[in-house]
Every structure is written in C-alpha cells, then in structure tokens.
Amino acid sequence: MDALPPGIDLSQVPLAANPNGDPPNFVNPPSLISTVQAVGITLGLISLVLVILRLTVYHRTKRGVGFDDVFVVMAFLLAAGYTGISCSLKDVTRHAWDTPISFLDVAYLKKLFVTSLFYGPMLFFAKASILLLYYRAFRPIKWLRISIYVILFILFCSYIVTVL
C-alpha cells in the first residue's frame, strides 16, 4: 500500500479510486440508505409476523416450546438489532470513492465492531434452529442425530470466531 505524504488533508482523499476516473463527490454523494432501511424494515416485519405465527401455532397445539423455538427468537432479536445498527450507518451506503478516509473515525469503527458482534451469533442461531427442528422431527434416526450434533459443533466453532 502506498503511504500518504505527510500533511495531506484526509477529508479530501477517497477510500478508493473511482473506476470511471471521475473525481470523488464528497458534497452530496448518491446513497442507498433509503433502500437499506426499506428492505431491513420490511423483512424485519415479515420475520416478526412469521415468528409470532410459529409460536402461536405451537402454543395452540400444546406442543411446547423447544430449543428450536428459543433459537428462532434469539435469531430474530439479533437480526433486529443488526438491522437497526445497519440502518443507522447511513454514510456506509455510499461508494468508497465518494467517502473520504477521514470518515473512518472511532465512532464509526465502534458501530462497525458492534455489527460484527451481532452478525455471527445471528447466523448461528438461525441455522441452529433449523437443525434443532430436524432433531425434534427425526429424533429416532441415529445417523441424523449424530450428523446434527457434528454440524452444530462446526457451526458454533465457525461463528464464535466472529465474536472473539
């Protein structure tokens, strides 16, 4: 990586070069924040309805709450938190060539760090809930039970790294 000359104003240097060769637009760059927010909120509401329907059906059939249900709720809560934080990162939704290097301050990096704390566990709980549903449905089959244990262990090990 090339070093920047001393004394350069980092608010005038883009994070990346524009592939078209155009100069950076730091004043009013195009942004996808409205799209990120619309998709996040819409899918969050759909997910909320589906989680409530799932829990309502299981409650009415007196099946009881299992680990798969708890994991679905955990995945939803983590996804809601992740979506909320992502929707607050409005300056991230513009092109790198329209973002100055000075943008990478401590507050931004803290928010980015928090999103990484949500991301791994969110994916783990979502995938683990599906595996636990299989476990509940196909408990008598020994090879499937063992496979589910192994896959859960692999998922846990791979996603715990994102938190650590």
Q: Is residue 19 part of a domain?
A: no
Q: Is residue 24 part of a domain?
A: no
Can you give the pLDDT of all 164 residues of the chain as single tens digits?
466 677 777 777 787 888 888 888 888 888 888 888 899 899 999 999 999 998 888 888 877 778 888 999 999 999 999 888 888 877 677 788 888 887 777 877 887 788 888 889 999 999 999 999 889 888 788 898 899 999 999 999 998 888 87
Total structural domains within the chain: 1
* Residue 16 CB contacts under 8 Å (≥ 6 apart), including other chains: 95, 96, 97
- How far the first Cα of the chain sits from its last, in Å, is 28
Q: How many helices (H) and strands (E) does the chain have?
A: 4, 0
Q: Is residue 1 part of a domain?
A: no
Q: Is residue 18 part of a domain?
A: no
pTM: 0.77
Expressed as residue numbers, the domain containing 115 is 31-92+104-163
**Structure tokens that stand for 33 in this block:** 């924040």
**Structure tokens that stand for 27 in this block:** 């004043």
Q: Is residue 156 part of a domain?
A: yes
Q: Is residue 143 part of a domain?
A: yes
Q: Is residue 153 part of a domain?
A: yes
Alpha-carbon distances, residue 12 vs 7, 92, 147 (angstroms):
12, 17, 54
Q: Is residue 67 part of a domain?
A: yes
